[in-house]
Each structure stands twice: as structure tokens, then as C-alpha cells.
Structure 1
Amino acid sequence: MSEEKQAAEPMAEAEAGGVDTADLENAAELALTAFCWWRADIPQEVCETYWRDVHGIMFARAPGLWQCRQLRLAANRPDLWPKVQGVSFDAPDAAQPQGMGHGLFLSEADLAAFAGGPLARETIPGDAHNFIGRIGAQLSPPGGGRTLVDRVDDPAMQGPPPVPTFVLCFVPGSGAASAEAFHRYLTEHVAHPWSGHPDVMRLRVEPLPPYERSAMGSPGVAYQWPGEETYLGWMELAVRSEGVVGDLLEGVAAGGLAEQVGAVHAYPVREVYTIVSAGRPTEVGLRGYPAVRTIIAAGVEDQRDEAVLELLFGDAVYGLDRLGRRS
């Protein structure tokens, strides 16, 4: 089977309703995580709206992305955890990111198509300083990120998650022999057991390389990490209730957690906005959220028709199909 046909299959099955969110995400080989700190001289609401409705829609028009989401984060919640000797759950205010961008790419070729286009090479980096004060972007090791369970199953989520959802960020402990060993511990001894809990609705684990500098640079935006504790991995965890989070940690605390993990920071996900899903821009990615919300409130289905969207936005409607993946 040709590489193009293999890459096209998840998209075709998704359009037919035959693939769930975990399968869609796990079709991707590469993941890009961007921790964002907003400019302090602009109201946070303005930064977040600009991120979604101005900056975000540029990604919907750039080739190569399989998935692109924006996660709006609340302050760290150390109160969720039981006390574990040797593990810190506190994070300085200045070190806590307010947003996280997450992009998936099916292949190195798609990542290159994205990075080599004029939007990702020039326009997007040149726009970031308008709302971002600091950024730390990292590419996960190929094939490292995995969605282990997803019972929420909403690949194009827009707005507040339906259940409590957290981005859990992990700082390695003194016993972590290497980044690779830490990644194995995080995946095999934490993420996999947690994913089997009946009250875990979604869990994705994303290993990160040691942070040196941002994988995405933007003129006028600082990329130094704000503090000494940098993240070597993170999880997206959705649960039926907040109390589940503490229960999960109790299950691994006796298994050498303090040797491998120095700190865990839990950022509640206030809202998720999906710009690209299964290789195609969402309506929010094409129009911006306010326009889509208004169209839905008015009950105007004609404006959501693909033929109308194609007239308005041209080939941008088809996303990865522009790279020759249509079967």
C-alpha cells in the first residue's frame, strides 16, 4: 500500500464516522507542544481572544497539520494531590503558563510542509509578539505521544470541556537516569495504569525533550523558561470528578514516584478550541469562534455547508487534502 493511501485512510474513516478520537490522534507520528505566557501589559481576555480568533486561524490555512488545539489553562492546583514525600506540587506564579498550543503531524514530510510555508515561517512568528510575552515550544520524540484512552470522544471540541480536565506537567526527580528512562517511567508506570481507571475519561501522555530553547522562535518573544524546573513530559487528563486525581496518585506513590518525579503541576483546562481536526480546518479555524457561535445561535445551516465554505475560503477548507491525500 502506498504511503499516501495509508495516510489517507484515517481521514477517510473519520469522515465516515469509523474512527474515534484516540485513533485519530495516534495516527500522528509527531507532536508539537507550545507553552505560552501572555503579555503582562494586555488583559488576559484580549490575549486569549486574539490567540483563538486572529492568530489561531492562520494555522488553519497552513499546510501539514493533522490536529491543532488551543488549551486555556487556569492556575496550578496543588490542593488536588495527597502529600508525597519528596514530590512538590507548588509552582511559582511567574512559571505557570496560561495557554498551551498542541499540534499533531502525521509525518516528517507534513511537519516540513508546515514549517516551510510562508505562514509558519514568517507570518505566524511575526504575529506572536502581539499577545505572547514568553513561549517554550518542544517537539516530542517521534511516536512518543499517545492517547491511551478517550471516552469523551470529541475530536473538534470547542469551549469548556464536559468533565474536569487537567494538563499535568512533570519535572524529573534526582533518580531519573536519563530523559528516555523518565519517559518510559511516565508512560509505563503512570500513564498506562491511570488509563485503566474507570473514572478516567481521557488520557494522553506526551514526553518532552530536555528544554534548551524554543522549537518555535518569534521576534520579540522571550523563549527562556521562567524558572529552573522545566517539564520533561505532560499528560492531558480528563476525569469524572476532581477527587479522582488524588486517588490516581496514591496508586503510584508507593512505586518510586519520588525517585523519578520531582514535581507535578496540575493546570485545569478551562476551555479547548480545536483549529484543525483530522487534517481539516474546523469551522472555528476557518471563521473564528464568534462567527461560528453566531451562525449556530441564528440556526443558519446554509452558512455551514461545505460548498459555501469552499467558495469563501478556497482550498484552505481541505487542509491535508491539499497535499494530495484525497483518495
Structure 2
Amino acid sequence: MATTLAAGERETGQSLDVVDTADLENAAELALTAFCWWRADLPREVCEAYWRDVHGIMFARVPGLWQYRQLRLAANRPDLFPTVQTISFDAPDVAQPHGMPHALFLSEADLAVFGGNPLAQETIPNDAHNFIGRIGALLSPPSGVGRTLVDRINDPAMQGSPPVPTFVLCFVPRTGAASVEAFHRYLTEHIARPWSGHPDVMRVRVEPLPPYDLSAMRSPGVPHQWPNDETYLGWIELAVRTEGVLGDLLAGTAADELAEQVMAVHTYPVREVYTIISAGRPTEVGLRGCPAVQTIIAAGASNQRSEAVLNLLFGDAVRGLDRLRRQT
């Protein structure tokens, strides 16, 4: 599905507001990252459609979320980087996640509002087993929340295939190399920040993660243990003009220092991104589901995208869950 809005514009019914994606994302104090593996007994396309159009739109009815995106991942690409001694770029098939939900909260109070809602307490967790075979979720606290260092794409409500090659790079720390805080500083200041200055880099977000113990999301009937011992201590979302830029970026990183800190880097291409909530407001995909939005666009039914019609259909959710939160 193509993006329904031009880059840098956010849905507001019949009008469009020009926004800055990095500023919107950096307003958040907490981040939730989940790594998901789909059920092996269901076709991949069924799991992904259910995730977006059934499971995902439930999040759009829960107050407290500032942003909620679903990133569909392709298989690890070890071929994109030059060889660095002692660093592995390979990942076993069983350990490679299929999808990654990423949620942002403006404050701990918003997280509490979200977590106290019946949908978030019971309905969403109890629904996960319908398509997820395994999940590992991590909550980054205010002291370690990620940052969007640059975003030249500037599309806060992206729907479908990214306009340029986009990757999620997941980092496994070297055992005993440094403290968690030191590793996070290295990931941000020595990798992500220098990369953000490259002229062919379109987007960089760095997300430090706490050590994985038990999933931060309770999902009855879904195993929470990691598939292997190589758990991630951080990830970088990287969008570039061409795939070849990745090799240039790593070549410009001090190899000795990288090898001291990092044991493995797994690089997952982002096939599609679906934004369910942006700036505290459900997107059209979050309200209706993607197939309905695609059909409306194909038919040219602009009246179905108006504030008046959406308000009649969806009530307070259309005006923004951030506003709904303040009213309760």
C-alpha cells in the first residue's frame, strides 16, 4: 500500500498539518520494542494481515499511546557489510524475528493510562496467540529512551513499503565487554550519531534496550523465551538512498572499537511499515484497517476520508487519543 499522505503531513480529517517526524518521536519519554515470530502453522500472509487489520487496530482504541508502528521484516542480510574479524553478521533462521511493533509514550503517566485500559490489560494480550508463535518485548525507561537523530523522509504516518531501502540493525553485545550504559552510549554516540551525518542517510533512530529477562508484554499462550542466547541490547532503524551505503557506513566505523563492543549485528530489511497511531492520533489505517483504506483511495471516495464521516463512525478516537486521555 502506498503512503496515503505526502511526506511531512499528518492526517487531520480534511486538512493536513506539516510536522517534523523527528520532533514528534523525540517528544516521547518511553519506548516499547517487541520482537515477534509468527505461528508456524499459519501462512505468513495470514499472520501479517491479522497483525495489522485485527490486532493492530485495537491499539488505536486505547488511550495513552503517542506512536504505534508495525515493521514487517525480511530475512537477515549479512551480505550488506564488509567482513569484520570476530563480529558475526549471520543469524540462525529460528532466531530471526518476522515483525517488530514499536510504540512510544510521552510519559510514564501515559503508559499507566494505556496499561490500565481493559483492551491493553486483557483483550490485546489474549489475542496475541491467534497469530504470534513467540514474542519478546522490552520497555526502555526514560533514562535510556531512543532518539531519532535524523529523518529526511519525514513521513510520520507511513503506510506500506518505505520509499528508500530501510533496515533494522540489531546489536548483540560482546559478553563482559562493557556495562549496559556504556554499550548504549557507544551505540548512540559512536555508531548512530556519526551515521546520521552521512549525506546518503535518510533516517536514523537509535533504540537502546534493557537486558532481556522476561517479556514486558504478557501474552497468555505465547512463549516469551528468546529463541537463542544472542539477545539484543539495542537496535538502529536506518534508511539510506541505496543499499551500498551500509557498507560505507561500517567502513567508516572504527573496526577495533566495534569488535570490542559488539559480538553480532543482524540486519533485517524493512519490507513494510504500518503506522497505527501518530502523534497520539489514530491514522486511517488504525481506524479502518488497510484493505478498507486501499479501497476508498482506489474508488476516489474522498468523502469517506472527511472529518465529519470519520467522526460519525469512530467518535472520540478520530479527535485523537491524546485528547481522549485528557477527558477521562
**TM-score for the superposition, normalised by structure 2:** 0.93
* Preserved CA contact (<8 Å) 2:67 2:278: yes
Cross-structure match for 1:324:
326
Deviation at 1:254, TM superposition (A): 3.0
Cross-structure match for 2:139:
139
Task: Give the AA of the match of 2:114.
Answer: F
Cross-structure match for 1:310:
311
Cross-structure match for 2:48:
48
Q: Secondary structure at the match of 1:17?
A: strand
Distance in 2, Cα, partners of 1:231 & 1:246: 21
Matched, 1:121 2:116: no
Deviation at 1:19, TM superposition (A): 3.2
Tell me the matched-pair count.
314
Deviation at 1:141, TM superposition (A): 2.8
Q: Secondary structure at the match of 1:90?
A: coil
Deviation at 1:253, TM superposition (A): 3.5
Cross-structure match for 1:4:
none
What aligned pairs does 1:172-187 form with structure 2 within 5 A after superposition? Answer: 172-174=173-175, 176-187=177-188
Distance in 2, Cα, partners of 1:138 & 1:39: 20
Cross-structure match for 1:298:
299
Deviation at 1:176, TM superposition (A): 2.8
Deviation at 1:96, TM superposition (A): 0.2
* Preserved CA contact (<8 Å) 1:174 1:259: no
Deviation at 1:86, TM superposition (A): 1.0
Distance in 1, Cα, partners of 2:255 & 2:94: 31
Distance in 1, Cα, partners of 2:57 & 2:299: 22
Structure 2 gap segments, 5+ residues each: 1-9
* Preserved CA contact (<8 Å) 2:29 2:105: yes
Deviation readout 1:190-225 (Å, 9 max, x if unpaired) = 000000000000000000000001000111000000
Cross-structure match for 2:237:
236
* Preserved CA contact (<8 Å) 2:78 2:89: yes
Cross-structure match for 1:271:
272
Task: Give the AA of the match of 2:221.
Answer: G
Q: Secondary structure at the match of 1:252?
A: coil
Cross-structure match for 1:151:
152
Deviation at 1:289, TM superposition (A): 0.1
Task: Give the AA of the match of 2:36.
Answer: C
Structure 1 gap segments, 5+ residues each: 1-9
Task: Give the AA of the match of 1:319.
Answer: L
* Preserved CA contact (<8 Å) 2:11 2:283: no
Cross-structure match for 1:202:
203
Deviation at 1:306, TM superposition (A): 1.2
Task: Give the AA of the match of 2:51.
Answer: W
Q: Secondary structure at the match of 1:129?
A: helix
* Preserved CA contact (<8 Å) 1:175 1:259: no
Cross-structure match for 1:89:
89
Deviant stretches of 4+, over 3 Å: 15-19
Deviates more, 1:16-25 or 1:129-138: 16-25
Deviation at 1:142, TM superposition (A): 1.1
Distance in 1, Cα, partners of 2:11 & 2:299: 30
* Preserved CA contact (<8 Å) 1:138 1:214: yes
Cross-structure match for 2:167:
166
Task: Give the AA of the match of 1:25.
Answer: E
* Preserved CA contact (<8 Å) 1:175 1:260: no
Distance in 2, Cα, partners of 1:321 & 1:300: 28
Task: Give the AA of the match of 1:267.
Answer: Y
Distance in 1, Cα, partners of 2:35 & 2:292: 27
Task: Give the AA of the match of 1:181.
Answer: A
**TM-score for the superposition, normalised by structure 1:** 0.93
Distance in 2, Cα, partners of 1:17 & 1:188: 32
